[in-house]
Amino acid sequence: MSTPQDPRYGQGNDQGNGQSPYGQQGRPGPYGGQDDGGRYGYQAAQPSGYAYPGGGTLPQQAEKGPAPREVQRAYVLILAAGVLYLASAIISALTSEVPDMAGASLGVGIGLVFSVVFAAVYVVLAVFIRKGHNWARITATVLAALNVLGLLASFLLLPLAGQAAEASGQSVAAPSGLSLALSVIVTLLGVAGVVLTYLVPARPYFAPRRLGY
């Protein structure tokens, strides 16, 4: 005896052969997905890193690219200033006369430690300037200005200090000519390196990084 056909499901009842009356496998479901035997199609999970609606992608930081020639030269000059500053501090400590009093040698040692730290600051600023960090350029500018003021003050105040010492019958240990010359060279190298970072070809390299979309 044949099974009556049900017009709601098409020809024949397909429940006996494992097919769903609501659609066959591979046919699109009512919501845009593939109908795998169920009434509602299943949508596969989106892979990680997919684009946002509208075609955008996840924001990424833009690369600065190679450093301009002016920035490379500024890096070398500031690095040389730090090395010469440390050399000047060592020469000054070795050539200066240490007073025969308690704590004088300790003071010289502490001064050398600070000189090493300050020279390391030069090196760090030079490295980050070559990487294009604007804060390093600003910090180097401030330090260069302070070095210029300190150098001018030393040239102006040393004669006055000598005259005051002679009037009071005391002697003042004046820095050696080599130490003063190295101080001038260090200051000039630092100022020249900072000026190079503000030239027109180097300015865009220190601009803030923009996020790409």
Q: What is the mean pLDDT of residues 73-86?
A: 95
With 90 as the cut, is the pLDDT of residue 101 above it?
A: no
Interacting residues of 151 by C-beta distance below 8 A, sequence separation 6+ = 183, 184, 187
Average confidence (pLDDT) over 72-77: 97
| Distance in angstroms (rounded) separating the CA atoms of residues 32 and 27 | 10
More confident residue, 159 or 100: 159
Predicted pLDDT of residue 42: 47
Q: Does 60 or 208 have the greater pLDDT score?
A: 208
Q: Are 108 and 98 in contact (CB under 8 A)?
A: yes
pLDDT band at 104 (very low <50, low <70, confident <90, very high): low
What pLDDT does 179 receive? 78
Q: Which residues contact 172 (CB under 8 A, 6 or more apart)?
A: 161, 162, 165
